[in-house]
A = this chain, B = another copy of it.
Amino acid sequence: MSAELTVPQLSAKHRPTLDQALSAIRSRAYWSPHPEHPKAYGESAPADGLAAFEALRGTRLELGQPGTDGWTGGEVSPYGPELGVEYPHADPEVLLPAMKAGIAAWRDAGPETRALVSIEILSRISARTHEFAHAVMHTSGQAFMMAFQAGGPHAQDRGLEAVAYAYEEQTRVPGQADWSKPQGKKDPLELGKTFTAVPRGIALVIGCNTFPTWNGYPGLFASLATGNAVLVKPHPRAVLPLALTVQVAREVLAEAGFDPNLVALAVERPGEGIAKTLALRPEIKLIDYTGSTEFGDWLEANARQAQVYTEKAGVNTVVLDSTDNYKGMLANLAFSLSLYSGQMCTTPQNLLIPREGIATDAGHKSYDEVVADLAASVGGLLGDDARANALLGALVNPDVRTRLEAAAALGEVALASREVTNPEFPDAVVRTPVMVKLDAAKGDPEAPYLSECFGPVSFAVAVDSTADALELLRRTVREKGAMTVGAYTTSADTERAVEEVCLEESAQLSLNLTGGVYVNQTSAFSDFHGSGGNPAANAALCDGAFVANRFRVVEVRRQA
Distance of A174 Cα from B28 Cα, bound (Å) = 8
| Chain B residues within 8 Å of A556, by CB | 499, 502, 509-511
Chain B residue at minimal CB-CB distance from A28: B177
Q: Could you mark each residue 500-535 of chain A with 1 if its beta carbon is under 8 Å from any beta carbon of chain B, else 0?
A: 101110111111111111000001001110011100
Q: Give Cα A191–Cα B555 distance, bound, in whole angstroms.
A: 43
A283 to chain B, nearest CB (A): 13
> Which of A502, A509, A548 has the most C-beta atoms of chain B within 10 angstroms of its own C-beta?
A548
Contacts A527-B557, A531-B554, A532-B552: A26 and B174 contacting too (C-beta < 8 A)? yes
A425 at the interface (CB under 8 A from B): no
Residue of B nearest to A192 (CB): B511
* Count of chain copies: 2
What are 30 A-B contacts defined by CB distance under 8 Å? A25-B172, A26-B173, A29-B178, A104-B500, A104-B503, A107-B503, A169-B544, A179-B526, A191-B517, A193-B527, A196-B503, A198-B504, A198-B533, A300-B304, A499-B556, A502-B556, A506-B554, A508-B554, A509-B556, A509-B557, A517-B557, A528-B555, A531-B552, A531-B553, A531-B554, A532-B552, A540-B552, A543-B548, A544-B548, A548-B548
A27 at the A/B interface (Cβ < 8 Å)? yes
* CB of A195 within 8 Å of the partner chain: yes
Report the Cα distance A169→B516, complex, angstroms.
Answer: 32
A-B pairs with lowest CB-CB distance, top 10: A533-B552, A545-B548, A28-B177, A544-B548, A545-B549, A511-B558, A548-B548, A30-B181, A509-B556, A531-B552
A2 located at the interface, meaning its Cβ lies under 8 Å from any Cβ of chain B in the complex: no
**Distance in Å: Cβ of A522 to nearest Cβ of chain B:** 9
A166-195 contacts to B, CB under 8 A, are 169, 172-174, 177-183, 189, 191, 193, 195
Is there an interface contact between A180 and B29, defined as CB atoms closer than 8 Å? Answer: yes
A293 smallest CB distance to B (angstroms): 14
Contact partner, A517, options B104, B189, B198, B544, Cβ 8 Å: B189
Partner of A177, one of B29, B172, B533, B544: B29
Is A128 at the interface (CB under 8 A from chain B)?
A: no
Task: Verify A516–B553 contact, CB threshold 8 A.
Answer: no
Contact assessment for B516 and A193 in the assembled complex, using a CB-CB cutoff below 8 Å: no
Q: Is the CB of A304 within 8 A of B304?
A: no
Question: Which of chain B's residues has its CB closest to A177's CB?
Answer: B28
A450 CB to closest chain B CB (Å) equals 19
Is A200 at the interface (CB under 8 A from chain B)? yes
Min C-beta distance of A163 to chain B, whole Å = 16
Let me know if A301 is at the binding interface, CB within 8 A. Answer: yes
